[in-house]
A and B are shown apart, each in its own frame.
Chain A
């Protein structure tokens, strides 16, 4: 069950994309989602699809890994697309039934939305698969830095998020372990009615909470023992570096934006 999640997974590699600075990847990833909405015709959509495919190929990661990112969301995507297809009116109408109408506009809009969804998932999966969670965290911290001036404790938030990220796999492992131990004691998951199913998670959640409390206490003690006092008095061990490649990537994205704006039809 948990194996199937792609979230937070890093696939080591030596590709160009892997070498990019995490800050570039994060910014470009978010920026890409923004410019997706500029594309409103066939040519610009094809361009974006080709661009995404090209970057995916660059990572050297198998296509099946990306597909796994789509799988959990496929029903949401299909639902949204169906809504668009069935309830958009305009253009040539092929079929009507009460308020439901399949029209050429609806089909086109549905297709674009479908493409948008897939590209968003592909790009975010790509950023996630090629960046270690810790680097991603450092990137988030960097981009959050300006908020310091409106009294947001950026370093503390960054610390909490990085501790949380660090413990995701540990907790997943712990959950699996406890699940197995309880299964060995006769618990069956996913059987029976809703109430029984809810009851069967109690023997997982309580031990998991207890162990999280213990873990938090141990970690806090260990941090204090090593001189952690919180606040902004710390220096950084990992320092991210911009390279020429990062600049080039950002330029490329600006170029794509310009092309998309030019291709826009009203």
Chain B
């Protein structure tokens, strides 16, 4: 299911003294099965953009095509629920959406809303709870007695249980400890690869964007200013720094390494593994090369 934005614009509280423009002329495509990262400064419209992906917000200008559905600005939409079944969204701090008495009920809530049978929903709950790295006995507990990290995982499981084709993640690791971060990001990456999930990640972590994404969408003041591969984006770092964004540590290390030793590595390395392979030859001769 491809998602395409064509000249999409969005205004909050249109025609009121509080009118604020959040998106202007956004043109971007999320291809089926791809992994995209959206980066940009706070207030650049990232969260507004992703709320369009399952039609929680509908464009005030332009056209949005989600799979077969075409959402044109100003045309009233019906049966959005069918659409939302295919696009799962994990919001920022998703633990705030838990409400049922037990974890199992909460996970089943989404699937049941989309007309999945009770039995099937429970089966899915048992499956996804393991996928998010929790044990099955947590299913009978109340979500409110869990730790913050566990609640986050339960909330994510609730979205995964809907078995969406597209998974939208709005800073899924914000406020988690470092090991929790890596675990959760690795889990999403595994799901993306195994199930061919189209994944769209909004993040402030350039490391995550560099490591996982195939496509990076760079936003500024409500517009997309560049769509490119991570390597392209992080090779030209001036633009990022201008936008007040950081460069991944690996890239920064490479820059300083190149300057110090007056060498130029073949490509911009995005992961530590790549960097190790690239600099090992220089170190073999005790730096004498």
Please list the residues of chain A having a beta carbon within 8 angstroms of any beta carbon in chain B.
3, 9, 11, 61-62, 64-65, 68, 174, 177-178, 180-188, 202-203, 206-207, 210-211
Q: Which residues of A contact B5 (CB under 8 A)?
A: none
A186 touches B97 (CB 8 A): no
- Do the beta carbons of A174 and B158 come within 8 Å of each other? no
Instruction: Check if B162 is an interface residue, CB within 8 A of chain A.
Output: yes
CB closest residue in chain A, given B164: A184
- Give the complex CA separation of A188 and B85 in angstroms: 12
Instruction: For A183, give the chain B residue with the smallest CB separation.
Output: B56
Instruction: Kindly identify, within residues 67 to 114 of chain B, every residue whose CB is under 8 Å from any CB belonging to chain A.
Output: 81, 84-85, 87-89, 91, 94, 96-99, 109-110, 113-114
Interface string of B124-152 (1 = CB under 8 A from A): 00000000000000000000100000000
Does the CB pair B96–A11 fall under 8 Å? Answer: no
Q: Specify which chain B residues have a CB less than 8 angstroms from the CB of A207 in the assembled complex.
A: 96-99
Identify the closest chain B residue to A180 (Cβ): B56
B51 & A180 in contact (Cβ 8 Å cutoff): yes
Q: Which residue of A lies closest to B109 (CB)?
A: A185
| Nearest CB of B to A13, in Å | 10
Contact yes or no, B96 A186, CB < 8 A = no
B13 at the interface (CB under 8 A from A): yes
**15 additional contacts, CB 8 Å, given A185-B159, A187-B113?**
A3-B18, A9-B18, A174-B96, A177-B91, A178-B96, A180-B51, A180-B56, A181-B94, A185-B113, A185-B162, A186-B113, A203-B97, A207-B96, A207-B97, A207-B99
The answer on a CB contact under 8 Å between A186 and B51 is no
- In the complex, which residues of chain B have a beta carbon less than 8 angstroms from the beta carbon of A61? 17
A4 to chain B, nearest CB (A): 8
CB of B16 closer than 8 Å to a CB of A: yes
Rounded to whole Å, the gap between the CB of B172 and the closest CB of chain A is 13
Q: Compute how far the CA of A230 lies from the CA of B110 in the bound complex, rounded to whole angstroms.
A: 45
In contact, A210 and B81 (Cβ under 8 angstroms) = no
B18: A residues at CB distance < 8 A:
3, 9
**Once bound together, how far apart are the Cα atoms of A184 and B85, in whole Å?**
8
User: Given the complex, which residues of A lie within 8 Å of B89, measured CB to CB?
Assistant: 181, 184
- A65 to B12: give the CA distance in the assembly, Å: 15
Q: Is B15 an interface residue (CB 8 A)?
A: yes
Jot down 18 A-B pairs with beta carbons below 8 A, ordered by A.
Answer: A3-B16, A64-B15, A64-B16, A177-B91, A177-B96, A180-B56, A181-B94, A181-B96, A184-B56, A184-B84, A184-B88, A184-B89, A185-B158, A185-B162, A186-B81, A187-B113, A207-B97, A210-B144
The 7 A-B pairs at the shortest CB distance, nearest first, are namely A186-B113, A206-B99, A185-B110, A181-B97, A184-B89, A3-B13, A65-B17
- Chain A residues lying within 8 Å of B17, measured Cβ to Cβ, are 11, 61-62, 64-65
* Chain B interface category by residue count: 20 to 34
Complex: chain B residue closest to A202, CB-CB? B99
Task: For A3, list chain B residues within 8 Å (CB).
Answer: 12-13, 16, 18
Q: How far is the CB of A202 from chain B (nearest CB, A)?
A: 7
Select from chain A the residue with minimum beta-carbon distance to B97: A181
A11 to B19, CA, bound (A): 12
Q: Is B54 an interface position by the 8 A CB rule?
A: yes
**How far is B51's CA from A64's CA once the two chains are assembled, in angstroms?**
28
Closest partner residue, chain B, to A61 (CB atom): B17
Residues 145-200 (chain B) with a chain A CB within 8 angstroms: 158-159, 162
Within 8 A of A (CB), among B1-15: 12-13, 15
- For B96, the chain A residues whose CB sits under 8 A away are 174, 177-178, 181, 207, 211
Chain B residues with CB below 8 A from A178, complex form: 96-97
Closest to A9 in B: B18
A199 to B2 alpha-carbon distance, docked (Å)? 34
Task: Using CB atoms, name the residue of chain A closest to B17.
Answer: A65
Give min CB distance, A125 to chain B, whole Å.
12
- Which chain A residue shows the least CB distance to B99? A206
Nearest chain B CB to A210 CB, angstrom units: 6
CB distance from A90 to the nearest CB of B (A): 43
Contact partners of A62 in chain B: CB under 8 A: 17
Q: Are B84 and A183 in contact (CB under 8 A)?
A: yes
What separation, in Å, do the CA atoms of A242 and B15 have in the docked complex? 36
- Compute how far the CA of A158 lies from the CA of B81 in the bound complex, rounded to whole angstroms: 45
In the complex, chain A residues whose CB is within 8 Å of the CB of B158: 185
